[in-house]
Amino acid sequence: MLQLSSRAQLVLGLVLALMMAASRGHHFASLENLPSASWALFFIAGFYLRSKWAFAGLMLEAVLLDMIAVGFQGAIDLCITVSYPMLLPAYGALWMGGQWLATRYRAHWSMLGNLLLSVLVASSLCQLISSGSYYYFSGRFADPTLAEFAQRMLRYGPLSLQSMAFYIGLTTLLHGAWLSAEKLRHSQHREIS
């Protein structure tokens, strides 16, 4: 299992919170906006952060950012519906996907298969819960059907996964660079000793 010091977890938690603040509400990238990192941040936090309070903090931040955004945009009835509380289990699926991966972690290339599996399962569950609850319970769709929901999932699901893939890929590269630097530092330390 991956072990980070309490200080490293605190710093990383703050970085993740800043990333959410910088990107939440921007579902598509542009020159002015980062793509939304929320899904990836919950997965990454589940992998690196051990405290359950980190999940609660990120969830609270997401809700506050949404409330602020819809307050300025005046579109509260479009985004905040009776289905909104379903983001809790949706983001929980991402967090648990990261935790599942952390319990199997070892610094080896073979982990990429587990990473891919956990990202696909967790993000698919998140998509089903968040989109399904919005589609069926928000009141925004007349006569919702399973066939129409499946079409919507096929149309919009890959767009949601693009941002997730970008941030998880970037994190994987940074994690690999950190491991390489640690390995080099240890080998240089042994040579000096």
What pLDDT is recorded for position 155?
87
131: in domain: yes
What pLDDT is recorded for position 1?
61
What pLDDT is recorded for position 58?
95
64: in domain: yes
pLDDT at residue 29 greater than cutoff 90: no
Confidence of residue 178 (pLDDT cuts 50, 70, 90): confident
Q: Report pLDDT digits (tens) over 41-81.
A: 999 999 999 888 999 999 999 998 888 777 766 555 566 77
What pLDDT is recorded for position 28?
43
Q: Count of domains in the chain?
A: 1
| Contact of 160 with 120, CB cutoff 8 Å | no
pLDDT at residue 164 greater than cutoff 80: yes
The angle formed by the CA atoms of residues 157, 132 and 117, to the nearest 5 degrees, is 50
- The two three-digit tokens of residue 156, written as one number: 């919009």
160: in domain: yes
What's the domain range around 132? 6-27+34-192
Q: Report pLDDT digits (tens) over 81-127.
A: 788 889 999 999 999 999 999 999 988 888 899 999 999 999 999 99
What pLDDT is recorded for position 109?
83
| Sequence-ordered list of residues with C-beta below 8 angstroms from that of 189, at least 6 positions apart, any chain | none
What value does the mean pLDDT of the chain take? 84
pLDDT at residue 34 greater than cutoff 70: no
97: in domain: yes
What pLDDT is recorded for position 123?
94
66-84 in b/e form (b: 16+ CB < 10 A) is: beeebeeeeeeeeeebebb
1: in domain: no
